[in-house]
Amino acid sequence: MRSDNARAGMQQAPARSLFNALGFTKEEMKKPMVGIVSSYNEIVPGHMNIDKIVEAVKLGVAEAGGVPVVFPAIAVCDGIAMGHVGMKYSLVTRDLIADSTECMALAHQFDALVMVPNCDKNVPGLLMAAARLDLPTVFVSGGPMLAGHVGGQKRSLSSMFEAVGSHAAGTMTEEEVENFVENVCPTCGSCSGMYTANSMNCLTEALGMGLRGNGTIPAVYSARIRLAKQAGYAVMDMFNKGITARQIMTKEAILNALTVDMALGCSTNSMLHLPAIAHEIGFDFDISFANPISEKTPNLCHLAPAGPTYMEDLNEAGGVWAVMKELADIGLLNTDCMTVTGKTVGENIANAANLNPEVIRTVDNPYSKTGGLAVLKGNLAPDGSVVKRSAVVAEMMVHEGPARVFDCEEDAIDAIKSGKIVADDVVVIRYEGPKGGPGMREMLNPTSAIAGMGLGSSVALITDGRFSGASRGASIGHVSPEAADGGPIAFVEEGDIISINIPEMKLDVKVSDEEMAARKAKWQPREAKVKTGYLARYKELVTSGAKGAVMKRPDELVK
């Protein structure tokens, strides 16, 4: 056992005295030590119930012959951090979470791990750590929130943000907005649409790192507690069989996850997180991989914000495994990949069934024949940009309009809410990328303001920042290279015509190469906004959004 490095022999007698101080018995000292990475806190609604999940995991581990030991991981609530400096600290936590988990696991020589995450950057951060550590590892999340109800309709957090835009447009009263406040987020859990947290928890199943239902069983269901106990059993089974994380998280498994992503219509943030996870196993994931996979993968689900269904509906319809079965039946998944059950993907999903074709469309009746995401390239985004095309209305799939240029999110929001943005405009928000922000803020406030102002079918938004999974419309993010690196988005001027063609996967500015070169020659890098603290260090180490905004390796720092 790896833990013997910390507990066995005369050399480790001092460590054993410290284990005695922790209350370990001699019997426990002979058993595998399983780290339970708890993301519990009292500020993130998706994490306030994780203490109960952790206790259930501990029971499962102990019943299966291991010794559970809890240690923490941080997490940010993107909804609470949205719209102010706090959002700069969201994406950057992904790497802090991976690094700190690596430190704890190796410093204390755990034999296996159970990761208990839930919200946006917490899940991919722990997946990165799992790949890096290569221990027997199982994921069990806190689970999704139930949908709220307003005016007899199911609602969620994206509805709340759009209600603020409607109030700015004068189409909703303050009392009506307050009714949304009281009712859209009725329980603990990750927000109830196919936003980033739920996207990543579903993709954890697709990767093979989570048990069935990990992405979809609501946080408040007792089935979530049972799942947590089963996760404890499963990690001990993995330990006994010698199955480790990198045997599961292979190149083929990551491509499976990308395929499931396309069918589910996941958040564009998955195009930051899948490359980052791939980076940990040495797989050079190019975001352009998305397009050939998208071209052959039908979009089967329209969960909020793309449609009227929610995570609880997906759960009742058969969950992620039912979606995977639809895809496997037409040969789109590698069914030989190993999973945390000790069985292959094919063995796991053999008996999965689609119980509601209105929630999970069949492959012969998809929402579209192509997947939920697309990577657009052109002279405005030579290295790529990402759009959630399953949430784009038909009339905006091809669009041209004048650029309305803003150098930060706040200025764009002010212009939108004051009525300065009109039909056909293309809002350009730059210097919000990984370096330029720094931190690559989500743009849910401006996209929601556009929707709330009634402009969702006539105004596009492009940025070198990113979008929330709750964003909808022609919202194109991750434009790379970013403005802070002298990417073409830095040279766009007010009134330039922007051309968007999602079916042809193109994003261009109608300015000649000669004019763009002249603008580039006059461009000067902006002085860094942040010069101290973690964000300043992050800015120096982070790579492009097209590379998943991963941190540079030591060998890359000298280049």
Residues with a known catalytic role: 468
Which residue in the block uniquely carries the two structure tokens 């909703």?
172
Rounded to an integer, what distance in angstroms lies between the CA atom of residue 264 and that of residue 202? 9
CA distances 122 to 138, 197, 225, 371, Å, are 15, 8, 20, 25
Going through 134-263 in order, the beta strands assigned E by DSSP cover 137-139, 148-150, 153-155
Rounded to an integer, what distance in angstroms lies between the CA atom of residue 347 and that of residue 326? 14
Helix (H) or strand (E) holding 274: helix 270-280
- 327 closest CA partner among 366, 355, 290, 289: 366
For residue 355, give both structure tokens.
């119980």
CA distances 546 to 284, 319, 369, 373, Å, are 11, 30, 25, 14
SS3 (DSSP) at 110: coil
Query: Residue 498: beta bridge partners?
Result: 401, 509
For residue 287, give both structure tokens.
């975001």
- 470 closest CA partner among 43, 44, 42, 78: 78
Indicate the length of the chain as a whole number.
559
Rounded to an integer, what distance in angstroms lies between the CA atom of residue 501 and that of residue 376? 8
- Through-space distance between the first and last CA atoms of the chain, rounded to whole angstroms: 40
Rounded to an integer, what distance in angstroms lies between the CA atom of residue 302 and that of residue 193? 10
Rounded to an integer, what distance in angstroms lies between the CA atom of residue 331 and that of residue 338? 17
The torsion angle over the Cα atoms of residues 92, 163, 189 and 125, rounded to 10 degrees, is -10
Rounded to an integer, what distance in angstroms lies between the CA atom of residue 510 and that of residue 516? 10
The DSSP secondary-structure symbol of 303 reads B
Cβ–Cβ under 8 Å, residues 409 and 433: no
Pairing assessment for the beta strands 497-501 and 398-406 based on DSSP bridges:
antiparallel
For residue 189, give both structure tokens.
């859990």
Q: Could you write out the DSSP letters of every residue in 226-265?
A: HHHHHHHHHHHHHHHHT--HHHHS-HHHHHHHHHHHHHHT
For residue 142, give both structure tokens.
């806190």
Query: Residue 499: beta bridge partners?
Result: 400, 508
Label residue 109 exposed, middle or buried (CB < 10 Å: 0-12, 13-18, 19+). Answer: middle
For residue 266, give both structure tokens.
């996941």
Rounded to an integer, what distance in angstroms lies between the CA atom of residue 192 and that of residue 142? 12
Q: Across the chain, which distance is largest between two alpha carbons, in Å? A: 76
